[in-house]
Amino acid sequence: MNLFSRSHFFASKVSTAHAPGRRAVPDNFTLALLGTVLLASLLPCEGGTARVLDLVTDAAIALLFFLHGAKLPRQAIVQGMTHWRLHLTVLASTFVLFPLLGLALRPLGDAVLTPELSLGLLFVCLLPSTVQSSIAFTSIAGGNVPAAVVSASTSNLLGIVLTPLLAGLLLESHGSGVSWHGVLDIVLLLLLPFALGHFARRWIGTFVDRHKPLLGFTDQATILLVVYTAFSAAVVEGLWHDTPPSSLLAILAACALLLAVVMPTVTWAARRLGFSREDEITIVFCGSKKSMASGIPMAKILFAGQAGGLGALVLPLMVFHQLQLMVCAVVARRYAARGVHSMVGDDREAD
């Protein structure tokens, strides 16, 4: 199964999961994520156990990015040069529009959220786009799937470099605890394994392509491991005692506001720049998402030793991740319905 056919398969799974009759049913990974947070809240790891799990987590993160490097075909990088206007539009939304909105929301976040939650909300805005869900929703909506594959992959590849740089510049300038040593750790723990994996693709690429579930398992297991260790440390330091329900509602409102601004803005920009309907769909779904698979490992490295623990920092990302899936499911179905209506109209005109 090649990358494009796999994306259509994944799209069918997402479409089924978000079917009208099943909108309230969370997927298995969401349940696992909530279960991990609950486990860390009730049975947090401490002391020597926490130190061992930190080492295991670092190894899992390095393996994850090694496999991502091995998965990325060289032709995807080459193809990225052929539709450069679309990809630049997506990258501008991901690494320019989102950070500007994050900075605009920072005073409000500082006023109603704890410093860690406010920092986490800004960090969400610095992350690259997702890969699988961007491709899946583009496919459901009837967009340009090959362009989505290249654009989302390019965003993740550049995000390994751009996200730490933006974090170092913007967060440090706002008095937050991101050190350039953390940026160096990103290079060693994420970029180097990614580059080695891509270099090794000629030897292990066939194996990786044949064992896609292995990468999916590594993705999810690594996220759950990081979430458990992060929330364990945060719970030990009093996360739930210091985070009132009003803060959780404020995070949800802020994430909803981000999507409410970004999605119409990128839609308007795509139409203003003269993109086709298919390309517009790709821009909307690739340019409006943030990757939890990349974000949580990056947060663990960039914010190591952060006062207040990592759990509060990644909480906004977890909220945004779930919200973007629900919103994009609705938007994708509407695009698909309009596409079917348009095709029916064209058929009638032809008759």
pLDDT band of residue 11 (cuts 50, 70, 90) is very low
* 261 exposure class (CB count in 10 Å sphere: 0-12, 13-18, 19+): middle
Residue 180 pLDDT: 57
Quote the CA–CA distance of 86 and 138 in Å, as a whole number: 14
Six token digits for residue 197: 């994996």
For tokens 């929703």, the residue is: 137
Radius of gyration of the chain (CA): 20
Six token digits for residue 279: 């390309």
- What residue ranges define each of the domains in the chain, with the CATH number in brackets? 3-20+27-340 (1.20.1530.20)
> Considering the chain, what percentage of its residues have pLDDT values greater than 70?
81
What is the tens place of the pLDDT at every residue in 126-177? Answer: 999 988 788 888 888 989 887 887 888 888 888 988 998 898 888 765 555 5
Burial string for 269-304 (b: 16+ CB within 10 Å, else e) reads bbeeeebebbbbbbbbbbbbbbbbbbbbbbbbbbbe
Asked if residue 119 has pLDDT above 60, the reply is yes
Asked if residue 6 has pLDDT above 60, the reply is no
Residue 103 pLDDT: 93
Q: Which helix (H) or strand (E) is 12 found in, with range?
A: helix 3-17
What length is written for the chain?
351
Region of residue 200 (left: phi > 0; alpha: psi -120 to 50; beta: else): alpha
Distances in Å between the Cα of 205 and the Cα atoms of 67, 68, 80 are: 9, 10, 20
What is the tens place of the pLDDT at every residue in 180-213? Answer: 566 666 667 777 888 899 899 989 988 988 887 8
Residue 174 pLDDT: 53
User: Average pLDDT of 236-249?
Assistant: 79
Asked if residue 98 has pLDDT above 50, the reply is yes
Q: Which of 108-122, 147-161, 232-246 shows the lowest per-residue confidence on average (mean pLDDT)?
A: 232-246
Average pLDDT over all residues of the chain: 81
Asked if residue 13 has pLDDT above 60, the reply is no
Residue 43: how many other CB atoms lie within 10 Å: 11
Residue 269 pLDDT: 97
Query: Does 242 or 3 have the greater pLDDT score?
Result: 242
> Considering the chain, what percentage of its residues have pLDDT values greater than 90?
26
What is the tens place of the pLDDT at every residue in 50-88? Answer: 889 988 988 888 888 788 788 877 776 666 567 889 999
pLDDT band of residue 257 (cuts 50, 70, 90) is very high
What is the tens place of the pLDDT at every residue in 322-340? Answer: 889 888 888 988 998 887 5
Residue 344: how many other CB atoms lie within 10 Å: 10
Six token digits for residue 287: 């340019």
Report pTM: 0.76
Quote the CA–CA distance of 85 and 95 in Å, as a whole number: 15
Quote the CA–CA distance of 110 and 133 in Å, as a whole number: 31
DSSP letters, 273-284, are: TT--HHHHHHHH
Query: Does 148 or 4 have the greater pLDDT score?
Result: 148
Q: Which of 65, 85, 88, 130 is nearest to 292 (CA)?
A: 130
Quote the CA–CA distance of 141 and 207 in Å, as a whole number: 31
